[in-house]
């Protein structure tokens, strides 16, 4: 006996694998195979089976063999046959003769949050579908034949040229296409840099994403926390480290920019130590109360690695990011990446190049900057009206704010938020495990105001105010 496939074009909605094996002739094997297909759900109730002739041709058996098998299964109640409607799987919850199913017992499912105020995600409902589709079509039509072959580890030259122009204009980055390497995001950039190009220990801000610290720890890189104050990371405390990771445009998550004097000081430190500054420019485009703060990379392109992506400006689903590298690191990063581009799709890269070059990216960023500024203002107004004792900080830029809470109230506020159907994070979730007491910020909540869709934002703010501790 052999295995065979039932062709979907001959009556089924999808291909079906029938294994004609076991004792007996082909008729018995076909009956067993069809019973099993019904029993395990591959043939659902109401499915119309192929005519005798079609199935016989697919399986390489006589028409009478299929007719007899159908008739037997109709008699057993597995199938039904009516004039004009063909042979179908019987409409019943369980086929006749099947063992009774015992429902699985397990813990009750917790109801998910009604409102998502977690940081890190843009308003995905605002993705510019029409403009992106237009760019994708143009990119596909114009793509040279060679772009459908093995990719360049550095990324498509069209995107690197578009990024060099955009980053110089919008972020003050000084570079050229040959020093830009396309990656799938910030985490991928860290994996390429450590440990193949850079070594630890790495100085980091005392508050940041735990995921990034865990990723570095998995590669054997020890991270050393730097204290934060109202002027950003205290870069004067840098010791024997050879690299430092900063979020200078908008410290994550506390929210302030790195003071101009400290921006210059950290570049001087890198020059004196032969070190490097890793600049995470994760939401540099979204500044509301004054012009965007330019990139630190512009102060010294040979001592700063500028890292960016479209995860906040467009969508994390695109998996497109970039590294603007000092010349001495380019070859090492490309070697770590490998000979074949396996991380960022070529067509997505070409589409993004067109999206930037056509001006659609600038228009989208301006539109979202206005929308997020309105979201931020509504958050501030709601707090002023319903929780004036709660101070909100870090609101000059970005997609989140920090709500300062009375000492000892953060944990209870997070629990209260869960009861209100809110998903959000306490500030302590982002504290470096090696941070000393002097590096610890006050209790607080990190509130992402970009994620909820527009129609649900008002209700999310009401739930947030209800979860906050009283004066």
Q: What is the mean pLDDT of residues 299-305?
A: 97
Higher per-residue pLDDT: 306 or 438: 306
pLDDT at 290: 72
99 pLDDT above the threshold of 60: no
pLDDT at 53: 83
Residue 305 and residue 193 in contact, taking contact as beta carbons nearer than 8 Å: yes
The model's pTM = 0.77
* pLDDT range class, residue 338, cuts 50, 70, 90: confident
Q: What is the DSSP string of 255-310?
A: -PPPPHHHHHHHHHHHHHHT-EEEEE-TTTT-B-SSSPPPPGGGG-TTTEEEEEES
HEC sequence for the chain: CCEEEECHHHCCCCCEEEECCCCCCHHHHHHHHHHHHHHCCCCCCCCECCCHHHHHHHHCCCHHHHHHHHHHHHHHCCEEEECCCEEEECCCCCCCCCCCCCCCCCCCCCCCCCEECCCCCCCHHHCCHHHHHHHHHHHHHHCCHHHHCCCCCCCCHHHHHHHHHHHHHHHCCCCCHHHEEEECCHHHHHHHHCCCCCCCCEEEECECCHHHHHHHHHCCCCEEEECEECCEECHHHCCCCCEEEECCCCCCCCCCCCCHHHHHHHHHHHHHHCCEEEEECCCCCCECCCCCCCCHHHHCCCCEEEEEECCCCCCHHHCCEEEECCHHHHHHHHHHHCCCCCCCCHHHHHHHHHHHHCCHHHHHHHHHHHHHHHHHHHHHHHHHHHCCCCEEECCCECCEEEEECCCCCHHHHHHHHHHCCEECEEHHHHECCCCCHHHCCCCEEEEECCCCCHHHHHHHHHHHHHHCCCC
22 pLDDT above the threshold of 80: no
* pLDDT range class, residue 11, cuts 50, 70, 90: very low
| Calpha distance 133→301 (Å, rounded) | 35
Q: What is the mean pLDDT of residues 237-257?
A: 92
**Closest-CA residue to 280 (of 324, 216, 235, 236):** 324
| Calpha distance 438→436 (Å, rounded) | 5
Which residue's structure tokens are 């995860």? 311
Backbone angles phi, psi at 44, to 5 degrees: -85, 160
**Closest-CA residue to 375 (of 447, 431, 306):** 447
462 pLDDT above the threshold of 60: yes
Residue 399 and residue 124 in contact, taking contact as beta carbons nearer than 8 Å: no
95 pLDDT above the threshold of 80: no
- The enclosing H or E element of 6 equals strand 3-6
Which residue's structure tokens are 């010294």? 300
Backbone angles phi, psi at 243, to 5 degrees: -150, 150
pLDDT tens, residue by residue, 249-260: 999 999 889 999
pLDDT at 71: 85
Q: What is the mean pLDDT of residues 194-198?
A: 92
- The enclosing H or E element of 459 equals helix 454-467
Q: What is the mean pLDDT of residues 25-51?
A: 86
pLDDT at 36: 86
Query: What average pLDDT does the chain have?
Result: 88
Q: What is the DSSP string of 71-136?
A: HHHHHHTSEEEETTTEEEE--SSS-TTPPPPPPPP-PPPPPPPSEE--SS---GGG--HHHHHHHH
Backbone angles phi, psi at 280, to 5 degrees: -90, 105
Pairing of strands 202-205, 276-280: unpaired
| Calpha distance 82→177 (Å, rounded) | 69
Residue 254 and residue 401 in contact, taking contact as beta carbons nearer than 8 Å: no
Q: What is the mean pLDDT of residues 40-55?
A: 84
pLDDT at 323: 97
pLDDT at 1: 45
pLDDT at 161: 98
Higher per-residue pLDDT: 54 or 198: 198
pLDDT at 44: 85
Least confident of 38-42, 295-299, 324-328, 368-372: 38-42
302 pLDDT above the threshold of 50: yes
Burial of 85 (0-12, 13-18, 19+ CB in 10 A): exposed
Residue 154 and residue 181 in contact, taking contact as beta carbons nearer than 8 Å: yes
Backbone angles phi, psi at 336, to 5 degrees: -65, -30
Least confident of 108-112, 119-123, 426-430: 108-112
How many C-beta atoms lie closer than 10 Å to residue 201's C-beta?
15
pLDDT at 84: 72
Q: pLDDT above 70 covers what percent of the chain?
A: 91
Burial of 375 (0-12, 13-18, 19+ CB in 10 A): buried
**Closest-CA residue to 286 (of 317, 245, 323, 257):** 257
pLDDT at 77: 85
């Amino acid at each position: 006996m052999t295995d065979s496939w039932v062709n979907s074009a001959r009556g089924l909605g999808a291909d079906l694998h029938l294994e004609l094996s076991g004792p007996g002739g082909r008729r018995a094997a076909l009956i067993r195979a069809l019973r099993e297909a019904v029993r395990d759900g591959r043939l659902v109730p109401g499915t119309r089976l192929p005519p005798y002739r079609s199935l016989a041709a697919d399986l390489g058996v006589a028409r009478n063999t299929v007719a007899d098998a159908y008739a037997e299964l109709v008699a057993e109640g597995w199938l039904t046959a009516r004039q004009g409607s063909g042979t179908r799987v019987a409409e019943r919850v369980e086929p006749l003769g099947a063992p009774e199913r015992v429902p699985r017992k397990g813990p009750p499912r917790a109801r998910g949050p009604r409102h998502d105020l977690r940081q890190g995600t843009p308003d995905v409902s605002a993705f510019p579908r029409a403009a992106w589709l237009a760019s994708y079509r143009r990119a596909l039509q114009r793509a040279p034949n060679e772009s459908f072959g093995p990719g360049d580890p550095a990324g498509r030259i069209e995107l690197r040229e578009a990024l060099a122009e955009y980053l110089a204009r919008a972020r003050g980055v000084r570079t050229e296409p040959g020093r830009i390497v396309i990656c799938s995001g910030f985490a991928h950039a860290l994996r390429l840099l450590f440990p193949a190009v850079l070594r630890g220990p790495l100085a980091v801000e005392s508050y940041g994403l735990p995921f990034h610290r865990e990723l570095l720890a998995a590669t054997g890189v020890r991270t050393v926390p730097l204290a934060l104050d109202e002027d950003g990371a205290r870069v004067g405390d840098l010791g024997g480290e050879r690299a430092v990771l900063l979020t200078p445009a908008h410290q994550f998550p506390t929210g302030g920019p790195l003071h101009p004097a400290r921006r210059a000081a950290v570049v001087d430190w890198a020059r004196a130590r032969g070190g490097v500054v890793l600049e995470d420019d994760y939401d540099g485009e979204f500044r509301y109360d004054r012009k965007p703060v330019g990139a630190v990379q512009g102060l010294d392109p040979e001592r700063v690695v500028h890292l960016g992506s479209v995860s906040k400006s467009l969508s994390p689903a695109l998996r497109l990011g970039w590294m603007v590298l000092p010349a001495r690191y380019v070859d090492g990063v490309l070697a770590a990446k490998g000979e074949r581009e396996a991380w960022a799709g070529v067509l997505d890269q070409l589409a993004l190049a067109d999206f930037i070059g056509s001006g659609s990216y600038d228009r989208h960023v301006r539109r979202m900057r206005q929308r997020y500024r309105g979201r931020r203002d509504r958050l501030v107004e709601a707090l002023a009206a319903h929780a004036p004792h709660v101070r909100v900080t870090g609101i000059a830029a970005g997609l989140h704010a920090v709500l300062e809470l009375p000492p000892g109230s953060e944990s209870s506020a997070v629990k209260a938020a869960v009861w209100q159907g809110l998903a959000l994070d306490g500030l302590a979730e982002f504290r470096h495990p090696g941070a000393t007491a002097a590096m610890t910020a006050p209790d607080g909540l990190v509130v992402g105001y970009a994620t909820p869709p527009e129609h649900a934002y008002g209700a999310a703010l009401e739930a947030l105010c209800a979860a906050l501790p009283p004066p």
